[in-house]
Amino acid sequence: MRKHYLDNIRWATVVIVVLYHVLYMYNAEGVLGGVGKITNLSWQHYDVFQYLVYPWIMPVLYIVAGISSRIVLEKRTAKEFIKSRTRKLLVPSTIGVFVFHFIQGYVSMSFGDAFTALADGGVPAPVIFLIMVASGSGVLWFCHLLWIYSLILVLVRKIEKGRLLKLGAKTPLWLIVLLFFPAWGAAQVLNAPIIQVYRFGYYLIFFLFGYYVFSNDEVMEKLKKYAALFMCSGIALCIGFSVLYFWVRGGMNYADKPVNVGPLYVACSYFGSLAMLAGFARYGDISSRFTEWMSKRSFGLYVFHYLGISSMALIFAKPSLLPAPICYIISLIAGFVFGYGLYEIISRIPFYRWAVLGIKKEKKHVQR
């Protein structure tokens, strides 16, 4: 039977990502990447939402990806798995950047007048173009890492020959809690020095947790049994993290060191992810026409939403053409309109559906 709660975690988390990116675009906490503060408020209290969700929104998606990989590998060979992951992850995040997402690169570089600065510095036009293309990868960093993790998983499976899966199925409740410590250790290693989201060791451990631990029904039954406890723990930790770093310490950068390698941050990541996993497994394992519609388009929303948010910010917020509240609203609406609209358009265009969304060409059936 299909595990509907996994689909529901995906689309619900992506919706939260859209909300997060709207606030991130205009954040007043010094987290670089958007327009920055556009209000006259001395303190943007609603920015606390970023602190509440940032630690766990991507880790839980990697856990779900790990669980999903287990489901796929039970039906396909390792070769078929890598071929599928290459089409769905690597193609959109490489070829797709050249044929479409360079637009995002143009928008992102325009925030800081990078084109003028590079040209004045004597950088050749072809090099500027390549920088723009690279800048267009944006949210596709998730696909880059997940593709690499898929290759690592195939290698690890070949070495351990199923023994780790059997051990994972026996994981007791106390050990589920103690898995926080290897997650904390992983947070300290293989972090990219400049592009902060590329945390190779950190997200890998969540992906492997998903595959080897939480893909087992025996483990998920334990999470479901104590779902309320995990949900309360995750919520309490995220609130504590937000109070400490947003209010008490005056809006410290949650996306960089020392905050994002600290024990409280990792606790929010891990137990916040478990709260989502346990909560949806217990209460959200449902399917309806609405959830199916959202699930089918969740990847499209993830891939395209930031272009809508950032484009509106560049057009209306950066030159201060509209009041701040209107800019927030327009960016939010554009995130969903671009996300769903571009998905519906591009998923119907030959070649682009493959290059940008990883959707394979449909075979034509010849009637006899």
The whole-number pLDDT of residue 352 equals 95
From the list 241, 246, 177, the residue with the least C-alpha distance to 209 is 177
pLDDT for 97 equals 95
Nearest-angstrom CA–CA distance, 285 and 283: 6
Per-residue pLDDT tens digits for 112-171 = 888 888 888 888 989 989 999 988 888 999 999 999 999 999 999 999 999 999 999 999
| Res. 197 pLDDT band, cuts 50 70 90 | confident
CB-CB contact of 62 with 89 (8 Å)? no
Determine if the pTM surpasses 0.85: yes
Query: Across all residues in the chain, what is the average pLDDT?
Result: 93
pLDDT at 121: 86
Q: What is the pLDDT of residues 268-324, one digit of tens each?
A: 999 999 999 999 999 999 999 999 999 999 999 999 999 999 999 999 999 999 999
What is the model's pLDDT at position 363?
54
Average pLDDT over residues 62-82: 96
| Other residues' Cβ atoms within 10 Å of the Cβ of residue 224 | 19
Predicted local distance difference test score (pLDDT) of residue 34:
82
User: What burial letters (b/e) apply to 236-267, b meaning 16+ CB within 10 Å?
Assistant: ebbeebbeebbeeeebbbbbeeebbbbeebbb
Quick one: which H or E segment has residue 238?
A: helix 227-242
**Radius of gyration (C-alpha) of the chain in whole angstroms:** 21
Rounded-to-integer distance, Cα 6 and Cα 276, Å: 10
- Using DSSP's 3-state secondary structure scheme, residue 199 falls into strand
Task: Give pLDDT, residue 366.
Answer: 43
Res 113: pLDDT = 80
Work out the pLDDT band at 1, boundaries 50, 70, 90: confident
Q: How far apart are CA 42 and CA 23, in angstroms?
A: 16
DSSP state of 363: P
pLDDT higher than threshold 60 for residue 261: yes
